[in-house]
Amino acid sequence: MKRLWIALYVVLLATNGGAQEVKTDSLSTDDVQLDSIFRTLPEVMITGERPAVRTEPGKLVYDVPRLIVNKPVDNIYEALKELPGVVEQNESITLGGLGVTIVLDGKVTNMNTSQLMALLKTMPAKRIKHVEVMYSAPAKYQVRGAMINVVLNRDADNLSRLQGEVYGLLEQRHHTAYEERTSLQYNRNKFSVDLLYDHSHGTSYHIGDEQSLHTLRDGTRHEMNTTAYTHAPSQEHAFRMGADYRFTENHQLSLVYNGNYSSYHNNQTVEGAVRSASHKDFTHWLHNLRLDYETPFGLKAGVEFTYYKSPEKQLFDSEYGGKAYHFESNSDQKIDRWKFFLSQEHRLKSEWGLNYGVIYDTSIDHSYQYYVKTSEQSADLPDDSSFRQAEDNINLYAGGSKRFGKKLMLDASLAAEYYHSIVWNRWDWYPVFNLTYLPKDGHTLQLSLSSNKTYPEYWAVHSFVSYNKGGYGAIVGNPFLKPSSDYRLQSVYVLKNKYTFITWYDYQKDKFTQLAYQRPDRLLMEYKYCNFDYTEQIGFQASVPVKIAKWWQTHFMLIGVWQRDKDSDFYDIPFDRDILWTMGMVRNTLVLSSKPDLSLTVNGMIRSKAIQGNYNLPESHNLDIAFRYKFMNNRATVRLYGTNILESNAIYPTIRWANQRYRMHYSDFRETGVSFTYAFGGYKAKSRADVDTSRFK
């Protein structure tokens, strides 16, 4: 009873400073996206008394099964959020201020961020053996920048056994959503096969209020205030099948298929200065097939094929500003992509290591967009357009590692990449340097220097136009959009294998993100991906776990960042802005009872104002609570949770720059849910790497 009273007190304390990730509903509407600056905001880790992290050259290795003990964690996605420096933003994982590549068992494949995160949410957390975190991944991993490698359990002692897990979820925001999942694995001698199927379905509901004071070139001002109501039923099917044959230790042949089918039906009405009704149907297909071969002498080879198709159809009727739009639009994106790779690693004398390899990617993007008037009274529409683009990318790399005694470790690599398309034809160099120093037991200092290049989505560089917000909003492609280059210098200090302190300087040249602009020649809010001159950050992060009692663990996190965004050719209103923003978080885990196994988590967060390009991002705070109950010899788990309890997590961007005046306010519903998990057959399943569709529509 005493623990229950203390738990209630912790909830009341957290109410004054709430915690959790930024939800998608607060950051996007239709196809307009706000890439929140808070991708840099990390979450935290709660450790036991024993060390939960160990150091290897260029990486930190976390004992994740220990970190998630007593946590209401259902899947790998939720487990990764327990790592220090990790936070969820826009339904994806970020690491220490960087976008991060997540791989499974060291295998990187062709998959976009949203599909990768969806896959991680379908994979049980019990599959994790440990997780490797690299803030500057060496070139041998075929990844640039930050990387999280999820190493999966391979239980050789339970061969020839059928194992599995079933999972069900009911979630209530404004409407109800459901998820059902089953995973199976069969091992026999040297052969193993695993299957996974996940079905999620439900309806989302969204309200968006926008206040726009639109100034035209002639000096007239127009109040374009609107309220949009969106009702969108959807369903998604994810399926995977993989097979491995182990000839001997480190000698393996692997084949895996990933598939995904999703459909969405978006119905929207807009009231106010714009009156409209629209209906949009989406379907998305993904097929991915990958073959890997690994030899015991360090040679690895593989080939991968990805097919993606996403047709959309929209019916649109709108009136505003004396104009009317009545049309049907059809669009599609079809992508075929091949990847071939070959690598070699050597273990040399005197603690030296050598690695080198080659990766070749080739893709064809075939996209189109057609408009048809459904009424003679409709205003003129954009021209029909189609686009076919081929891309080729070849990457050559070499790297090495060296141990100098027991305290100093060095890992460095250099990659040369040639990229060719109808727009770009260039070579780039990517150095990576990691130095790890162990002054004494339990203390680790890592210094790293890394470079990276990010390419925009295929759809963003096409000259397509898509209408939303009743026609007042238009999402415009940018054929001149350039890839961004990122350079980062960072230090990580781990004290007593628990406390983590990170400092960094990050410079991103030609950073691209989607910004809003009120056109001076007509009543139109234009959303377009634009290149900044640069974005730079200087940041500090401290994560401090505290064990208040045997049954009560708390983790405090503080982060501070100075940020500058500069764009000297942003339409006719260039900007050069900077700000110092901070965030504080606290996470509590309370073991209410060991028999029965009951635990409670209470998380709180508060953050200050920030900026992103011409957007002002106001302060926000949040509170999340989750309750977990394990029974039937720990095979069954029930989780009850509530997120965004105070309905205060949303970030409502505003624009007050030059003569631009714009304010967004979106629905910010709390979310409650219950899940049930049951593992059978001594289940310790394995999983597969995912498909990179980050540039798909």
Residues 651, 616: contact at Cβ < 8 Å?
A: no
pLDDT at 577: 98
DSSP one-letter string for 305-334: EEEEE--EEEEEEEEETTEEEEEEEEEEEE
Return all residues near 102 (Cβ < 8 A) that are at least 6 apart. Answer: 80, 93, 116, 120, 147, 148, 149, 150, 690
Give the DSSP letter string of 162-184: EEEEEEEEEEESSSEEEEEEEEE
Please choose, from the candidates 506, 357, 346, the residue with its C-alpha nearest in 3D space to the C-alpha of residue 417.
Answer: 357
**C-alpha–C-alpha distance, residues 544 and 555, integer Å:** 6
Q: Which of 8, 9, 5, 40 is nearest to 22 (CA)?
A: 40
The full set of domain ranges for the chain reads: 2-219+241-680
Q: Has residue 234 got a pLDDT over 50?
A: yes
**Does residue 444 contact residue 438 with C-beta atoms inside 8 Å?**
yes
Q: What is the pLDDT of residues 550-602, one digit of tens each?
A: 889 898 989 899 999 999 999 999 999 999 999 888 989 999 998 898 999 99
Which are the contacts of 589, defined by CB distance < 8 A and separation ≥ 6?
A: 46, 70, 71, 552, 553, 554, 599, 600, 601
Please give the Cα distance from 337 to 694 (Å, whole number).
Answer: 13
Higher pLDDT, 219 or 72: 219
Indicate the pLDDT class of residue 117, thresholds 50, 70 and 90.
confident
Of the candidates 80, 58, 56, 59, which has an alpha carbon nearest to the alpha carbon of residue 68?
80
**Which residues make Cβ contacts (< 8 Å) with residue 1, sequence separation at least 6?**
none
**Distance between start and end Cα atoms, the chain:** 53
Give the Cα separation of 495 and 60 in Å (integer). Answer: 13
Contact between 300 and 294 (Cβ < 8 Å): yes
Contact by Cβ (8 Å): 218, 199 = no
Burial class (CB in 10 A: 0-12, 13-18, 19+), 215: middle
Q: In whole angstroms, give the CA distance from residue 31 to residue 278.
A: 14
Taking only the tens place, the pLDDT of each residue in 9-27 is 455 444 444 433 333 333 3
* Cα distance between residue 42 and residue 98, in whole Å: 10
pLDDT band for position 89 (50/70/90)?
low
Mean pLDDT of 393-410: 92
182, 685 Cβ separation under 8 angstroms:
no
Q: Which pairing describes strands 98-104 and 146-152: parallel, antiparallel, or unpaired?
A: parallel
**Which residues 6+ apart lie within 8 Å of 138 measured at CB?**
58, 355, 399, 401, 411, 412, 413, 432, 434
What span, in angstroms and rounded, lies between the C-alpha atoms of 142 and 110?
12
Place of tokens 């990766």: 359
The CATH class, in words, for 2-219+241-680 is mainly beta
Query: What's the whole-number mean pLDDT along residues 427-437?
Result: 91
Give me the helices (H) in 410-511, please.
Answer: none
Average pLDDT over all residues of the chain: 85
Can you name the residues that pair with 54 across neighbouring β-strands? 61
Q: How many Å apart are CA 420 and CA 313, to the nearest integer?
A: 32
The string of pLDDT tens digits covering residues 651-696 is 899 999 999 999 999 899 999 999 999 988 754 434 445 555 555 5
Residue 187's DSSP bridge partners are 192
Q: Which of 559, 553, 457 is nearest to 498 (CA)?
A: 553
For 548, what's the count of Cα atoms within 13 Å in the CB-facing half-sphere? Answer: 15
Residue 577 to residue 568: CA distance in whole angstroms: 11
Separation of alpha carbons 15 and 9, rounded Å: 10
Instruction: Extract the tokens encoding 194.
Output: 């695993």
Report pLDDT digits (tens) over 301-357. Answer: 999 999 999 999 999 999 988 889 999 999 999 999 999 999 999 999 988 999 999
How confident is the model at residue 332, as a pLDDT? 94
- The answer to whether the CB of 43 falls within 8 A of the CB of 81 is yes
What are the b/e assignments for 430-449, b being 16+ CB within 10 Å?
Answer: bebbbbbbbeeeeebbbebe
Place of tokens 């007042």: 472
E strand spans, 273-384: 275-294, 299-309, 312-320, 323-347, 352-373
In angstroms, rounded to a whole number, what is the distance separating the alpha carbons of residues 555 and 13? 14
Mean pLDDT value across residues 522-534: 96
- Residue 687 is predicted with a pLDDT of 43
| 3-state SS record for 537-556 | EEEEEEEEEEEEECCEEEEE
Strand 59-62 relative to strand 128-134, pairing = antiparallel
Compute the chain's Rg from CA coordinates: 25
Q: How much is the pTM?
A: 0.82
By the 8 A CB rule, do 35 and 101 touch? Answer: no
Strand partners, 397: 357, 415
Residue 110 binned pLDDT confidence (cut-offs 50, 70, 90) = low
Higher pLDDT, 588 or 121: 588
For 405, 433, 574, the CA distances from 438, given in Å and listed in that order, are 10, 17, 47
CA 527/CA 515 separation, integer angstroms: 6
Q: What pLDDT is attached to residue 3?
A: 58
Q: Per residue in 467-489, pLDDT tens? A: 888 889 999 999 889 889 999 99
Q: Which two tokens stand for residue 28?
A: 């996007």
The upper half-sphere exposure of residue 329, i.e. CA atoms within 13 Å in the direction of its Cβ, equals 24
Identity of residue 423: V
Place of tokens 């080198």: 356
344 φ, ψ (degrees, to nearest 5):
-145, 135
DSSP H helices, 589-635, are none
User: Which is more confident, 194 or 361?
Assistant: 361
Q: Which 3 state secondary structure label does DSSP give 8? A: helix
Phi, psi (deg, nearest 5) at residue 440: -165, 170
